[in-house]
Amino acid sequence: MNFLKAIKRTAALAIATASLAVQAAPVRATASYDEMWEDHMVLVRVIQEHGVQVHVNYKTCGTEGMEHALGYYQGLRRLLVVCQQAGSNTGAHYTWSREDFDTLRHEAQHFIQDCRRGGRHDHELWPMYRNPMAFARGILGEEYVAHILKSYGDRGASTETLILEAEAFAVAAQNDPIEQARDVIKYCGPKR
């Protein structure tokens, strides 16, 4: 089975497990909260300009089967969701936590992976890095990557999904939403 077909077959699992409450890797704390907020809102704006709706505390947050989900990306529906730690499925917005920002970056990476090959919004995700596992281990460390692989593997994730998740966790841990916004512009084509 080729990589793209495997990704399509595991799309439902990837959506359901994309940001399950796997303890987040430490994020850099060099920027002030206001700077973090501004940089992350740039990322949100760029994602939306490229055809994906970003919802906070969407109606699916906290529902059956999603009780532990921190967020998800659904390419075919053009939807990126962040379930804030303090929020619910009411659509109300709360002060963003570092974990909420991390979830946004993680799910944004899945959108970028969706743009990597075959076009955006087809949910045929492809790694951005030549060796995504080595990249993830270099950023997160061997022990944390093993934790991610076990957490998702225990839920039945395919090898391809494990690779995509490890890469998304590592990119999120880099805590550079402006660089991710540049990647959206570079890989996801013209604004819609």
In this structure, the strands spanning 53-56 and 71-74 are unpaired
Per-residue pLDDT reduced to its tens digit, 130-187: 999 999 999 999 999 999 999 999 999 999 999 999 999 999 999 999 999 999 999 9
Which tokens belong to 192? 């819609």
Q: Helices 142-153 and 159-174, interaxial angle, to 10°?
A: 130
Model confidence band, residue 90 (pLDDT cutoffs 50, 70, 90): low
Which tokens belong to 170? 């590592």
User: Looking at residues 36-44, what average pLDDT do you find?
Assistant: 95
Q: Cβ distance 52 to 80 under 8 Å?
A: yes
Q: Cβ distance 110 to 121 under 8 Å?
A: no
